[in-house]
C-alpha cells in the first residue's frame, strides 16, 4: 500500500512540474507574444454590398530585446543559476529534475549586451504576418502607385524594423512598390508624449506612478512570492524585490523567443505567482499611459485626429489606400483611453487587484498590438452609395464599430471631435478643467490588500 501511495504522489508531483505542464501560464503583461492574444482579420465578414477603399492602422512594434536597465538586472541574477543547480543537488530545492536539467542547458544570449531594445526575429514575424493577413483579406487594395500608400515609424530601431516587416508582408509576392516616410525627430502624431512637458513631469516622472509602484513591491503578496521563491529554490543568497523581478524578466523574455514558449526561469514561479507578477505592468501602464491621468487620454487623441482626417480625405476621393503607423505601447494605450476602452471602476490600485479588470496589458499592451480601421464603400443595388467603418483591435471585433460597420454619420459622431486635438494642454501654464474638480486618481489610494483570491 505504501508503495502505491508513493507512486501516486510521484505522479501528482510530476504533473505539477513546469517542464511538462499541459497549460503553462501565458499572460506576461507587455511582454506577451502577439499570437497569444490576437484574432485573425481574415475571419471577419465584410459588410454586405461593401468593399474596402481605405485601411488605417496603428501598430505597436513587435517582440523586442529588453532595454538597458532590464538587461543589466537580468544578467546580474543569472549568477544564481549555479546556486539553483547546487541547491537541487544538495536536496534543498523543490524544482523538478527536468527543470534543473533545462537550467543546466540554459545560456545567456550575448547579443543582448549590444542589441538592447532591438526587434527580434519573432517580432519581425509578428508584423510580417499582420501585413500578410491584411493583404490576403483586401487584395484589391494592393495596386496603384506609391503615393496611395503611407507608412511611418517612430525613430527607434524596433519600430523602423517593424514597419519594414509589415510592408514586407503586405507586398510579398505581388508587384507593388511602396515607400516608407523618413522618421521624424519630433512626431506629434505617433509619439506626442515625448514632446509634452506636462506628461514628462507630472505623469511619467510624477509622484503618483512612483507611489503605486513602491506599493506594489512592498505589498504582502509580492513579499510572499519573494519568500516562496527563496524557499522553493533553497537558496542561501537572500533575494530582494529587484532580484525577484529580474528573474521574472528572464522568464518572460526568454520564453517569448522560444518555439515552446517556455524558459527554465519560469519554473521558479507557480501560476498563482505569475498572476501577481503580471499585475505589475497593469499598474505601471495604468498610471503612466492610461486612466491614471487625464493627460494620457488627451495625448491619445492625436493619432485619432489623423485617422479621422485620413478617412475624410478618402470619402472626398483623395485618400490613401493603406496608412500604417508604427509606435509603442505607450501610444497604443493612450489611444485606447481616448476611445474610452478598458476603463475600470474603481480605478486600478497597486494594492487592490480585481481578477476581472478590463485594463490588462497582456491583452491591450502585448507585443504587436494594433488598431485597424477599415473604410468600406457600400452600395444598395448600385444606388445610394454610402460608407461604413469597421474597427478591429488585435484583429478582433470591437464595440467601437460593429462588424456591420458604423455608418459615416455614426463614425463622424464618434470621431469628429478628435479633429480638434492639439498639444496646447502640454504647457505647464495651461489650466485644465479637470483640476477644478475632485479626481479619484489624484488622491493617495487607500491601502488595502489585493482581493484576487
Tell me the catalytic residues: 61, 329
DSSP codes, 156-218: SHHHHHHHHHHHHHHHTTS------PPP-SS-TTT-GGGG-HHIIIIIITSHHHHHHHHHHHT
The 3-state DSSP class for residue 283 equals: helix
**Rounded to an integer, what distance in angstroms lies between the CA atom of residue 168 and that of residue 180?**
11
**Rounded to an integer, what distance in angstroms lies between the CA atom of residue 100 and that of residue 265?**
10
Torsion of CA 326, 417, 384, 389, to 10 degrees: 30
Estimate the share of the chain in helix, then strand, then coil, as percent rounded to the nearest 5.
Answer: 50, 10, 40
Where residue 394 falls (left for φ over 0; alpha for ψ -120 to 50; beta otherwise) is left
Task: Evaluate whether 156 touches 117 at the Cβ level (below 8 Å).
Answer: yes
Closest CA to 47 of 388, 401, 398: 388
Return the C-alpha cell found at 205: 516622472
How far, in Å, are 33, 180, 388, 440 from residue 378 at the CA level?
A: 36, 30, 7, 45
Residue 372 burial class via C-beta count within 10 angstroms: exposed 0-12, middle 13-18, buried 19 and up: buried
DSSP codes, 357-422: -S--HHHHSSTT-EEEEEEEEEEETTEEEEEEEEEEETTEE-SSS-TT-EEHHHHHHHHGGGGG--
Amino acid at each position: 500500500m505504501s508503495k502505491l501511495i508513493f507512486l501516486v504522489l510521484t505522479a501528482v508531483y510530476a504533473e505539477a512540474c513546469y517542464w511538462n505542464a499541459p497549460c503553462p501560464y501565458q499572460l506576461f503583461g507587455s511582454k506577451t507574444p502577439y499570437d497569444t492574444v490576437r484574432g485573425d482579420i481574415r475571419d471577419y465578414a465584410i459588410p454586405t454590398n461593401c468593399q474596402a477603399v481605405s485601411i488605417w492602422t496603428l501598430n505597436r512594434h513587435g517582440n523586442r530585446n529588453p532595454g538597458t536597465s532590464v538587461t543589466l538586472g537580468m544578467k546580474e541574477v543569472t549568477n544564481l543559476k549555479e546556486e539553483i543547480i547546487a541547491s537541487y543537488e544538495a536536496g534543498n530545492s523543490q524544482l523538478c529534475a527536468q527543470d534543473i536539467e533545462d537550467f543546466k542547458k540554459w545560456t545567456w544570449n550575448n547579443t543582448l549586451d549590444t542589441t538592447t531594445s532591438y526587434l527580434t526575429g519573432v517580432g519581425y514575424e509578428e508584423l510580417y504576418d499582420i501585413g500578410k493577413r491584411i493583404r490576403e483579406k483586401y487584395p484589391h487594395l494592393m495596386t496603384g502607385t506609391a503615393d496611395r500608400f503611407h507608412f511611418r515609424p517612430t525613430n527607434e530601431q524596433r519600430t523602423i524594423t517593424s514597419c519594414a516587416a509589415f510592408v514586407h508582408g503586405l507586398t510579398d509576392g505581388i508587384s507593388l512598390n511602396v515607400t516608407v516616410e523618413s522618421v521624424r525627430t519630433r512626431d506629434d502624431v505617433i509619439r506626442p508624449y515625448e514632446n509634452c512637458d506636462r506628461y514628462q513631469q507630472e505623469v511619467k516622472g510624477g509622484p503618483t506612478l512612483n507611489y503605486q509602484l513602491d506599493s506594489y513591491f512592498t505589498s504582502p503578496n509580492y513579499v510572499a512570492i519573494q519568500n516562496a521563491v527563496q524557499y522553493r529554490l533553497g537558496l542561501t543568497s537572500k533575494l530582494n524585490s529587484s532580484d525577484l523581478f529580474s528573474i521574472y524578466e528572464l522568464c518572460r523574455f526568454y520564453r517569448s523567443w522560444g518555439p515552446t514558449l517556455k524558459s527554465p526561469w519560469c519554473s521558479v514561479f507557480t501560476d498563482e505567482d505569475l498572476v501577481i507578477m503580471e499585475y505589475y505592468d497593469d499598474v505601471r501602464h495604468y498610471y503612466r499611459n492610461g486612466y491614471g491621468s487625464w493627460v494620457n487620454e488627451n495625448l491619445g487623441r492625436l493619432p485619432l485626429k489623423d485617422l479621422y482626417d485620413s478617412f475624410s480625405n478618402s470619402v472626398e476621393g483623395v485618400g490613401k489606400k493603406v496608412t500604417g503607423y508604427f509606435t509603442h505601447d505607450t501610444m497604443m494605450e493612450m489611444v485606447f483611453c481616448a476611445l474610452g476602452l478598458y476603463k475600470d471602476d474603481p480605478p486600478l490600485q497597486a494594492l487592490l487587484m480585481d481578477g476581472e479588470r478590463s485594463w490588462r496589458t497582456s491583452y491591450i499592451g502585448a507585443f504587436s498590438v494594433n488598431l485597424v480601421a477599415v473604410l468600406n464603400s457600400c452600395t444598395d443595388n448600385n444606388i445610394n452609395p454610402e460608407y461604413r467603418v469597421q474597427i478591429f483591435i488585435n484583429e478582433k471585433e470591437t464595440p467601437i464599430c460593429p462588424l456591420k460597420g458604423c455608418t459615416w454619420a455614426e463614425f463622424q459622431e464618434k470621431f469628429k471631435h478628435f479633429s480638434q486635438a492639439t498639444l496646447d494642454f502640454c504647457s505647464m501654464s495651461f489650466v485644465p478643467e479637470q483640476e477644478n474638480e475632485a479626481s479619484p486618481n489624484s488622491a493617495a489610494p487607500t491601502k488595502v490588500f489585493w482581493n484576487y483570491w
